[in-house]
Amino acid sequence: MDFRYLPVTETDKAEMLEKIGVKSTDELFSDIPEKVRLDRELQLTKPKSEYELKRELTQMAAKNANTLDYTSFLGAGVYDHFIPSVVDHVISRQEFYTSYTPYQPEMTQGELQAMFEFQTMISEITAMPVVNSSLYDGGTAVVEAMNLSVGQTKKKKLLISSAVHPEHRQLVKTASVGKGVEVVEIGLKDGQTDLDQLEKELDEDVAAFIVQYPNFLGQIEPLEKIREVLDKQPKAMMVVSSNPLALGYLTPPGEFGADIVVGDTQVFGIPAQFGGPHCGYFATTKKLMRKVPGRFVGETTDENGQRGFVLVLQTREQHIRREKATSNITSNQALNAVASSAAMSALGKNGVKEMSELNMQKARYTRSQLEEANLPAAFDGSFFNEVVVKLSKPASEVNEKLFEKGFIGGFDLGRVYPEFENHMLIATTEIRSKEEIDAFVKEMGAINNG
């Protein structure tokens, strides 16, 4: 078998071994105790030539129903949006995809500046002054928000709305065990956080309340009222997890006095790719800047006074602070942050607003058509691009039938909310045409009434 990634020839090898002063490469492994040395070949699938492997993997990929071939109304945290062609061309530049963390700034100004621009864009969108250069994803960003609030307030009770993404709530629960945090879920009223319950649970032990805006059920949570409730315990932080696309039209959490705003920029230029990698963002106030997890890029000057960019505030991070670091996070999602930046740059000031509005318009059309097909929305509140409908049968059954007609249906809410059995969460993004929506609603009506 030829290995096209291995350049050292037999002649090279002989010269190198001579320089090292050994007879064979095996001698270089002689420090591995015999007892732990593997005395057989690894049992792996036989390697394939480039052509054969590509063909096999193409066939494997073809076993998956993709959202280019099928018309998808599935969202629930991961959305099927328009991705400008520029995005893939930008992130395919090897200087972005094969470099690593810009520890040597003179050689990596491009990456550093791209991160600085990402920070600025998310700062603009969320109306928060301080943004890091990305985290693993929206879910882990919620966990980091919990960690920051607990560390900062020294309080051990965390309130979280039941309308926060179910998986994000699970991550919080998993991580709370390490941190010794008590997590209390605040229930729902008509698809939004129950503010009476929030008020009841809010006491002086609370580190933070985490709410999602728009929430998992598509509803626009009343951040203004939530802020009023939280003001009764001024130390409790207001953490908002927010779809940044929605903020093209909705008032950003920063304007409601949020302490921390987190979310995922998957909506900007990142394909679903089965749930990851996506790109978390973490935005906060100047006051909390030095407690933030992950990397920051800051502006500075070089010896000649020319503008440049460097990693800053690294004394928060694990490679310096070790067990006293603000977080154990090492890598970020740089490549995806560049993808999102390219998408946000292409859309620009007006495009982000326009795309946000298009989502709202199309989702309202879906909602009104579904209502006409005898599938009224379950909630009356304002929403972004997702609606919940109650079905006459299990959502999984409806989805199977939709799939036969070329549709990927909505999210089966009964999977995670027992109270919403037979409810489906339906997302309509800007790329769904009127014809697609009409055809989907027609099938939905027929299946539901059939």
Give, as ranges, the residues between 55 and 74 that touch another protein (CB under 8 A).
56-58, 60-69, 72, 74
Answer for which of 257, 277, 376, 445 binds another protein (CB under 8 A) is: 277
CB 389 within 8 A of CB 426: yes
Q: Per CB under 8 A, which of residues 362..421 are in contact with another protein?
A: 362, 364-365, 382, 396, 399-400, 403, 408, 411
Answer for which of 45, 154, 234, 418 binds another protein (CB under 8 A) is: 45
Exposure string (b/e) for 30-55, b if CB count within 10 Å is 16 or more? eeeeeeeeeeeeeeeeeeeeeeeeee
State residue 120 phi and psi, 5-degree precision.
-65, -45
Answer for which of 154, 204, 322, 404 binds another protein (CB under 8 A) is: 322
Exposure string (b/e) for 292-331, b if CB count within 10 Å is 16 or more? bbbbbbeeeeeeeeeeebbbeeeebbbeeeeeeebbebee
Query: Does residue 257 interact with another protein by CB under 8 A?
Result: no
Answer for which of 161, 219, 327, 340 binds another protein (CB under 8 A) is: 327
Question: CA-CA distances (angstroms) from residue 100 to 92, 94, 97?
Answer: 15, 11, 8
Q: Per CB under 8 A, which of residues 234..253 are in contact with another protein?
A: 247-252
Query: Does residue 333 interact with another protein by CB under 8 A?
Result: yes
Query: DSSP state, 383?
Result: B
Looking at the Cβ atoms of 236 and 402, the one nearer to another protein is 402
Question: CA-CA distances (angstroms) from residue 282 to 9, 227, 240, 243, 295?
Answer: 48, 20, 10, 12, 10
* Cα angle 66-69-74, degrees, rounded to a multiple of 5: 55
Token pair listed for 39? 């005395």
Q: Per CB under 8 A, which of residues 2..21 are in contact with another protein?
A: 3, 5-9, 12-13, 15-17, 19-21
Query: Does residue 30 interact with another protein by CB under 8 A?
Result: yes
Looking at the Cβ atoms of 203 and 273, the one nearer to another protein is 273
3-state secondary structure of 142: helix
Mark out the alpha helices in 304-433 (DSSP H runs). 318-321, 334-372, 395-404
Answer for which of 207, 210, 373, 437 binds another protein (CB under 8 A) is: 437
Q: Per CB under 8 A, which of residues 211..230 are in contact with another protein?
A: 220, 222-224
Token pair listed for 100? 């690593």
Looking at the Cβ atoms of 234 and 301, the one nearer to another protein is 301
Answer for which of 80, 259, 386, 443 binds another protein (CB under 8 A) is: 80
Looking at the Cβ atoms of 57 and 203, the one nearer to another protein is 57
Answer for which of 374, 392, 433, 449 binds another protein (CB under 8 A) is: 433
Q: Per CB under 8 A, which of residues 177..206 are in contact with another protein?
A: 177-180
Q: Which x/- pattern, by CB under 8 A, does the window 114-143 give for another protein?
A: x-xx-xxx-xxx---xxx-xx-xxxxx---
3-state secondary structure of 168: helix
Looking at the Cβ atoms of 203 and 357, the one nearer to another protein is 357
Looking at the Cβ atoms of 232 and 349, the one nearer to another protein is 349
User: Measured between alpha carbons, how far is 283 from 448 in angstroms, rounded to an integer?
Assistant: 43
Closest distance to another protein from the beta carbon of 212 (Å):
13
Token pair listed for 151? 């560390």
